[in-house]
Amino acid sequence: MNKDGWQESFMRQSHVIEIDGIFLGAAVRLEDGFRFVAVDARVSALDGRVLATLEQARAAARHAFRASPRTAVKAATQPALATIDVRVHSPALTLAR
């Protein structure tokens, strides 16, 4: 508390952790490292974990995200970037003028 009886507060420095444009959580600076705060289920196992450096927090999130079964299934089901001709050539589908 300060001299006026108010409790002083401060905001901790935090860093957004995102992989492939997906916000996964934040790394909050502590005296002894960075606490990971997860906001995505794919990295929930890291929630509350303290890592020594910001880069370790990012690497752990990247590994957990890429190892997640949901991420692997999504990547495997992405459509191929190709043009497909879906026109049907059938006299039965030709409209009369």
- What's the rounded Cα separation, in Å, for the pair 66 and 76? 12
Give the dihedral sign, CA 43/46/50/56: negative
pLDDT tier at 69, thresholds 50, 70, 90: confident
- The domain spans of the chain are 14-93
Look up the pTM and report it: 0.64
What count of residues does the chain have? 97
**Comparing C-alpha atoms, which of 75, 61, 60, 55 is closest to residue 18?**
61
- What's the rounded Cα separation, in Å, for the pair 82 and 33? 46
Q: What is the pLDDT of residue 80?
A: 46
